[in-house]
């Protein structure tokens, strides 16, 4: 190729890349203007519909319309974010090509022999042209890149109420003060439950049986040097329902004779129900004859303990007087609230965390043991990651808008055992615990990584880049395989091992928005916010069955007693056989909306509705 041909080619590339950069830059700027004019969490249309709902609280069609608008708004927003991110990379690529083509063109042009006057004019013109091209191109590129930057950080402008809510997240040596208080049991009489059914015989039988089990239970852990108590083992956790989605957060329950027929409106098979004083989307957790919930509003957060046999409120404690706690709660959305994370218990103490960053421990009699503030989470919906506990370690997934963070606290004192920063974005998912090669790992899901960390020291053991968007569903685990999904990403099955992590399969047909998948017996069950319940083969990803319902799912499906229990937003519990057939067994109604995941005990199921806590039994 001769010099003139090269010159002509570089000239064409120069113009093409320049026009390309200009078009991409203009699109980025337009996209930025569009995004600054729309807020995915405060849509005027949704606000108008919500106001209308206040006067029509039983309008199911209106509720469905609100959820649909909300989903569309967020999908549109994240599509715009993807466009901005992709456009920024294209602009950078086009700019590099333009700069290289400009350099080649000017170098080749200067080698061509021309007359003195032409040369002088050419040099002057070339300098002037270069200056204008560089000036105009740089201005457009800078403007476009600035637009892209601010577009990606848009949700960070979602402010808290009050200046005091702008807390910083302490870590390392700069830890907040821990308050340790031991209170005397309250002298107040417990409040009676609403519509309590006489279950005296069940209570006495259950109490005697559990005292026997507690007396003979063996521990997997040695006695702690600072405590006279022996830690409960896996079998003890399996007999109870100590955490969100049961043992280690896996979504698998080990109780028998779970009821399949009830009606909340008529009271059929409802042994008792009680109104929960303050609202919350957290799920009930159980230890022997006690059931625990939390609730919160703009005034305060509270922890509740009920007798699970009678529904009697055994104690009620306010979460207050915590150093570093904000004077006013952070701003959160109605579908998350200030008390979304589920509590956890290790059989000696019960732990709760709130959207203020307050975390607190009580013993099972309601005496306050310790409390601290982790820093107000920068979270535009509200903090919702539930807690996990094992071997004197309380696991807190604290991925916020300020970046990825996870820490483990000493259950006896609340002091930090380890605190790590992670290279991921904000997440609403909850951690689960798994055992690989006889070693406990914490498995988490966030944008962009599904990852495993050593429970003892926080060491990153493995991670796969598989998620994006607002990650809400927690991971599932069965047969050595971790499953993770999110509505704006995909469904993946990965197998962590000693030498690395291997993909087993992936799928993007049905994806969860909030509901976590559950894996058991070689099958994977997944529920979506648009009303589909689906079953896959855990090893191959083959789809065995799918069911479509009128309401979507925020609650996570549970596997118990050979059945899948999945309660939808309308309060309808869909009960199917936990096998490849998916045979439907029943669809009992709670009589009110439901967001929380059920908890189980022998012959009992406990359901938290929007207003009440229910005990269901034949």
Query: Residue 166 falls within a domain, yes or no?
Result: no
Query: Residue 169 falls within a domain, yes or no?
Result: no
Can you list the pairs that 15-24 forms with residues at least 24 positions away whose Cβ atoms lie under 8 Å? 17/94, 17/97, 17/98, 17/101, 18/98, 18/133, 18/137, 20/90, 20/94, 21/91, 21/94, 21/95, 21/98, 21/137, 21/140, 21/141, 22/137, 22/140, 24/87, 24/90, 24/91, 24/94, 24/144
Q: Which of 138-152, 491-505, 538-552 has the highest mean pLDDT?
A: 538-552
179: pLDDT strictly greater than 60: no
Q: Note the pLDDT of residue 583.
A: 97
Predicted TM-score of the model (pTM): 0.71
Range of the domain at 60: 3-157
What's the whole-number mean pLDDT along residues 217-223? 38
Report CA-CA distances (Å) from 245 to 131, 256, 473, 519, 561. Answer: 64, 16, 12, 12, 15
What's the whole-number mean pLDDT along residues 172-196? 44
Residues 547 and 610 in one domain: yes
Q: Note the pLDDT of residue 453.
A: 97
Residue 229's pLDDT band (boundaries 50, 70, 90)?
low
Residues 219 and 114 in one domain: no
Q: Note the pLDDT of residue 457.
A: 96
Residue 5's pLDDT band (boundaries 50, 70, 90)?
confident
* Better-scored residue on pLDDT, 427 or 4: 427
**Which residue has tokens 């159980």?**
286
C-alpha 492/C-alpha 490 separation (Å) is: 6
19: pLDDT strictly greater than 90: no
In three-state secondary structure terms, 389 is: strand
Residues 186 and 46 in one domain: no
Residue 222's pLDDT band (boundaries 50, 70, 90)?
very low
Residues 498 and 577 in one domain: yes
Query: Residue 165 falls within a domain, yes or no?
Result: no
Q: Note the pLDDT of residue 94.
A: 74
29: pLDDT strictly greater than 90: no
Give the CATH number for residue 328.
Answer: 2.130.10.10
Lookup: tokens for 172: 């390392």
pLDDT tens for each residue of 338-376: 999 999 999 999 999 999 999 999 999 999 999 999 999
189: pLDDT strictly greater than 50: no
Q: Note the pLDDT of residue 586.
A: 97
Residues 152 and 213 in one domain: no
In three-state secondary structure terms, 328 is: coil
Residues 64 and 184 in one domain: no
Query: Residue 174 falls within a domain, yes or no?
Result: no
Average pLDDT of every residue of the chain: 82
Q: Note the pLDDT of residue 159.
A: 37
Query: Residue 612 falls within a domain, yes or no?
Result: yes
- Looking at the DSSP bridge assignments, the partners of residue 313 are 306
Query: Residue 168 falls within a domain, yes or no?
Result: no
Q: Which of 17-26, 118-127, 172-181, 254-263 has the highest mean pLDDT?
A: 254-263
Residues 263 and 320 in one domain: yes
Q: Note the pLDDT of residue 129.
A: 57
Residue 609's pLDDT band (boundaries 50, 70, 90)?
very high
14: pLDDT strictly greater than 90: no
Q: Note the pLDDT of residue 183.
A: 44
Residues 39 and 136 in one domain: yes
Query: Residue 38 falls within a domain, yes or no?
Result: yes
Spatial CB neighbours of 378, under 8 Å, sequence gap ≥ 6? 156, 169, 400, 401, 402, 426
C-alpha 379/C-alpha 360 separation (Å) is: 20
Q: Note the pLDDT of residue 420.
A: 97
Residues 201 and 93 in one domain: no
Residues 440 and 589 in one domain: yes
Query: By mean pLDDT, which of 85-99, 179-193, 317-331, 559-573 is the weakest?
Result: 179-193
Q: Which of 106, 123, 157 is the last residue of a domain?
A: 157
Q: Which of 101, 124, 157 is the last residue of a domain?
A: 157
Contact criterion met (CB below 8 Å) for 398 and 458: no
Residue 131's pLDDT band (boundaries 50, 70, 90)?
low
pLDDT tens for each residue of 89-121: 787 887 788 778 777 777 777 666 544 555 555
What's the whole-number mean pLDDT along residues 243-262? 97
What's the whole-number mean pLDDT along residues 276-288? 97
Q: Which of 157, 192, 217 is the last residue of a domain?
A: 157
| DSSP codes of every residue in 481-508 | EEEEE-TTS-EEEEEE-SS-EEEEEEE-
Residue 40's pLDDT band (boundaries 50, 70, 90)?
low
What's the whole-number mean pLDDT along residues 161-171? 37
Residues 127 and 9 in one domain: yes
Residue 157's pLDDT band (boundaries 50, 70, 90)?
very low
Query: Residue 58 falls within a domain, yes or no?
Result: yes
Residues 188 and 114 in one domain: no
C-alpha 325/C-alpha 345 separation (Å) is: 23
C-alpha 118/C-alpha 539 separation (Å) is: 74
What's the whole-number mean pLDDT along residues 505-533? 96
Q: Note the pLDDT of residue 141.
A: 60
Domain count of the fold of the chain: 2
Percent of residues, the chain, with pLDDT higher than 70: 73
């Amino acid at each position: 190729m001769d010099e003139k041909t090269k010159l002509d080619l570089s000239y064409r590339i120069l113009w093409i890349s320049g026009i390309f950069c200009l078009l991409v830059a203009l699109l980025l700027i337009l996209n930025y203007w569009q995004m600054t004019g729309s807020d995915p969490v405060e849509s005027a249309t949704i606000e108008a519909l919500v106001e209308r709902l206040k006067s029509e609280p039983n309008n199911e069609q209106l509720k469905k319309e609100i959820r649909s608008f909300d989903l569309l708004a967020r999908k549109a927003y994240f599509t715009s974010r993807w466009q901005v991110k992709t456009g920024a990379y294209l602009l950078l690529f086009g700019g590099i090509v333009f700069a290289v083509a400009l350099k080649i063109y000017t170098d080749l042009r200067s080698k061509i022999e021309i007359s003195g006057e032409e040369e002088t004019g050419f040099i002057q013109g070339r300098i002037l042209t270069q200056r204008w091209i560089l000036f105009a191109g740089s201005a457009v590129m800078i403007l476009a890149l600035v637009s892209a930057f601010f577009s990606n950080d848009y949700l960070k402008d979602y402010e808290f109420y009050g200046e005091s809510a702008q807390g910083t997240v302490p870590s390392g040596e700069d830890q907040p003060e821990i308050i340790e208080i031991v209170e005397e049991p309250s002298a107040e009489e417990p409040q009676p439950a609403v519509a309590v059914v006489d279950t005296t015989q069940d209570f006495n039988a259950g109490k005697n049986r559990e005292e026997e089990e507690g007396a003979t239970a063996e521990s997997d852990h040695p006695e702690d040097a600072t405590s006279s108590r022996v830690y409960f083992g896996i079998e003890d956790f399996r007999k109870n329902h100590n955490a969100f989605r049961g043992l280690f957060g896996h979504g698998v329950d080990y109780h028998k004779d779970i009821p399949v027929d009830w009606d909340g409106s008529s009271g059929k098979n409802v042994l008792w129900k009680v109104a929960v004083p303050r609202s919350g989307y957290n799920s009930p957790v159980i230890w022997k004859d006690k059931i625990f919930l939390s609730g919160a509003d703009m005034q305060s957060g509270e922890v509740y303990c009920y007798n699970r046999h009678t529904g009697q409120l055994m104690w009620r404690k306010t979460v207050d007087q915590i150093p570093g706690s904000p004077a006013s709660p952070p701003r959160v959305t109605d579908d998350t609230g200030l008390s979304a994370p589920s509590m956890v218990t290790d059989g000696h103490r019960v732990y709760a965390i709130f959207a203020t960053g307050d975390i607190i421990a009580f013993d099972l009699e309601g005496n306050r043991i310790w409390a601290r503030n982790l820093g107000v989470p920068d979270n535009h919906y509200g903090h919702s990651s539930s807690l996990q506990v094992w071997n004197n370690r309380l696991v807190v997934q604290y991925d916020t808008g300020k970046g990825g963070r996870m820490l483990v606290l000493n259950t006896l004192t609340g002091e930090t055992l380890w605190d790590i920063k992670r290279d991921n974005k904000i997440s609403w998912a909850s951690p689960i615990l798994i055992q690989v090669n006889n070693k406990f790992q914490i498995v988490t899901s966030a944008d962009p990584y599904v990852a495993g960390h050593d429970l003892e020291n926080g060491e990153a053991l493995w991670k796969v880049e598989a998620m994006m968007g607002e990650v809400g569903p927690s991971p599932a685990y069965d047969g050595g395989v971790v499953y993770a999904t999110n509505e704006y990403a995909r469904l993946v099955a990965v197998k962590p091992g000693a030498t690395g992590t291997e993909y087993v399969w992936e799928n993007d047909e049905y994806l969860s928005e909030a509901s976590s998948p559950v894996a058991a017996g070689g099958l994977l069950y997944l529920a979506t916010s648009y009303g589909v319940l689906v079953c896959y083969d855990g090893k191959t990803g083959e789809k065995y069955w799918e069911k479509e319902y009128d309401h979507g799912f925020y609650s996570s499906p549970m596997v118990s007693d050979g059945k899948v229990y999945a309660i939808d937003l309308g309060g309808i519990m869909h009960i199917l056989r936990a096998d490849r057939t998916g045979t439907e067994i029943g669809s009992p109604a709670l009589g009110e909306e439901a967001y929380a995941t059920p908890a189980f005990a022998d012959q009992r199921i406990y359901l938290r509705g929007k207003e009440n806590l229910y005990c269901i039994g034949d």
